[in-house]
A and B are shown apart, each in its own frame.
Chain A
Amino acid sequence: MKIIDYITEEKINLSTNLSKIQNFCASKLRETPLPKSQSETWRISNKQKLSSLLEYQYDLNSYQPNIPSYLTSKKAIKINVGNANQFNLKENDWQIKELNTKEINFLIEEKIINNNSEPTWTNLLNHSLVSEENLLGIKISGENIPPLQIFCNSKINHFNAKTLILLIDEKTTVDLLQVNLGDKNSSLSLTTYVWLEKEASLNHGVISLGNGTSNLLNSLDVVQKIGSNYKLSTIQMQYDFARFEVNINQSEGGGHTTIRGMQVSNDNEQIGTYTKVVFNGPKGYLDQLNKSLANDKSHSIFDGSIIVPKNAQKTDAAQLSRNLLLSNTAKIDTKPQLEIIADDVKCKHGATITQLNEDELFYMRSRGLTFAEASKLQLKSYYKEIIDSIPVLEEGLELLNHLIN
């Protein structure tokens, strides 16, 4: 596997200004280059697909993404991780400021090195590889902030790695759409860290769209302070192998978290979402819906855990996993997990696996719609709920049509 060889053969040591983090992560990977197969969230991952993901040439350059019209927002400030020059956008009532290397390193060290818990393999890989140009940290503060779009992409026949850090200041409200695009035959490793300060609010869309043969390792880590509001709306599809790991920590409790996620798998693809929401204080709130749609011979995985320790009394958490199986040969694994130690909490979770509704299909067919047209309308409604909740997106309908066809 080219990427693992690249790390283990110590090629990255040749790079002149190797950071402490890079050293730390690379040395960990040299000990255990691949995810431990006994690890619960990697157990049913397709090992062969993972090795294909790692079989591309590492490329520390970055390329201007080719942004389709249905993902372009006219109003938004657009930032491309990799070709962003040092910037500091400032108006009377708001500021978007790029963090310097020292600030960024400090933040990542806190996460990776000075942290009690073991870093994930996905993040170790990301930090071993990411070059300084592909590392972007921004701090946003103020009022009336314009919507933002942040792009990350991988280039054909290459493996690209990017890291993004977002600090949202106290009482600051931000609408952000993160767009991840994969060329065919390419891999993207992306790690995003978000800090939401007290009473900050982030309406966060993440659209990850590959090209059928693309691969994605996407890690999102969010820390929410008390009174903060975090809304995540995501859609990921068209990857041969995609893995989205979401870690949300309500570090003081008292946060408000909403998740609307959707993944679609076709052909022989394997697409997975792994979310973990931890309440480290009382009165936290979570409302989570994950939809999976599996077609052909594909495999869709949803693994969602909610952790409510003793100090998280009066937590109110609900999780629902809704799954739609479109073929007899597709496979869906859904695993909601609650770990509750506090006693005064409201937690519910559920999972359904269904097929397209026969009666609904017949009703539409009896009006002259073909089976395919009727299914398409049903699917549209299945997608729409998620697409409608994605912020910044101006061409939701156009995107929907693109995804359905």
Chain B
Amino acid sequence: MQEKMTGKEPLLEIKNIFASTEDLTILKGVDITIQPGEIHAIMGRNGCGKSTLSKIIAGHPAYKINQGSITFKGKNIKSLEPEERAKSGIFLGFQYPIEIPGVSNLEFLRVATNARRKFLKQQELDTFEFEDLVKEKLELVKMDYAFLNRSINQGFSGGEKKRNEILQMALLNPEIAILDETDSGLDIDALRIVASGIKKIANKENGIILITHYQRLLDEIKPDFVHVMANGQIIKTGDCKLALELEKNGYEWTDQLSQDS
């Protein structure tokens, strides 16, 4: 189905994944393969399972994988803890970033950055070195240093929370980044900032999954593949034209496909 094969080992390979919570099966056989340098978009109605897919890749303990495999750089990661996945280069930009009162954003970012650096066998940064790095990355998302002295996401506006996610992505330098509706609820300026932040981080080595409802983001960041999800499955995969079609015809257009399959 995906033609842009490079012959390299896939970065991330999701094969026939079934996942459920205690009493609900949400994912019903999802397949996606991502090669280094690729950008994939996932679209689909609210409730079809996009966030669940992103969370099981990140290792959320609330979901059980009943079938299938998730392979990251040739290694099955199903039994890895969320922090081990993060350290090895999997990043999830949350649809709803969590507010953590009382925990300093700066301290959190530093501990997180150093955890990743340690994994990469890079030298860990002390407070001052980290300050330099973070100032440089703040530029990318046009955030003020003052944000770092606040508690994690506490009292941040919707746009500020999303920019904080991109800041974290920039600091952690992931190999696979899944950005779950990072563009939802952003005004035009914030969307541009976020999009240009993502573009600066994207490169030939890493892969990006954009979960989105809007063409706006895909105008800025052109995906190599677009997947349409419905009812826990990927029902159609195409190139960026598929997103345009969806924009024009709405999700009802894909309902037919979902029933056919």
Contacts and interface: CB of A to CB of B under 8 A. Distances in A.
Interface stretch (A128-136, A237-245, A357-365): A357-365
B82 A365 contact: yes
B150 to A, nearest CB: 12
A380 to B, nearest CB: 7
Given A363-B98, A365-B86, A377 B103 contact: yes
A369 interface: yes
Interface stretch (A21-29, A168-176, A313-321, A381-389): A381-389
Interface residues of B, number: 31
Contacts of B83: 365-371
B116 interface: yes
B168 A367 contact: yes
A62 interface: no
Nearest to A372: B83
B240 to A, nearest CB: 29
B100 A367 contact: no
A362 B82 contact: yes
Interface in B34-85: 58-62, 81-83, 85
A294 to B, nearest CB: 19
Given A380-B103, A382-B102, A365 B108 contact: no
For the residues of A in contact with B, the DSSP-based class is helix
Nearest to A383: B102
Contacts of A258: none
Interface string B98-134: 1011110001100110011001000000000000000
B17 to A, nearest CB: 18
17 contacts: A360-B100, A362-B98, A363-B100, A364-B103, A364-B108, A365-B83, A366-B58, A366-B59, A366-B60, A366-B85, A367-B108, A368-B83, A368-B115, A370-B81, A377-B103, A380-B102, A381-B151
Interface of A: 357-360, 362-371, 373, 377-378, 380-382, 384-385
The 6 A-B residue pairs with the shortest CB-CB distance, nearest first, are A381-B102, A368-B115, A367-B112, A368-B86, A363-B98, A365-B82
Given A366-B59, A381-B101, 4 more contacts: A360-B98, A360-B100, A366-B60, A368-B116
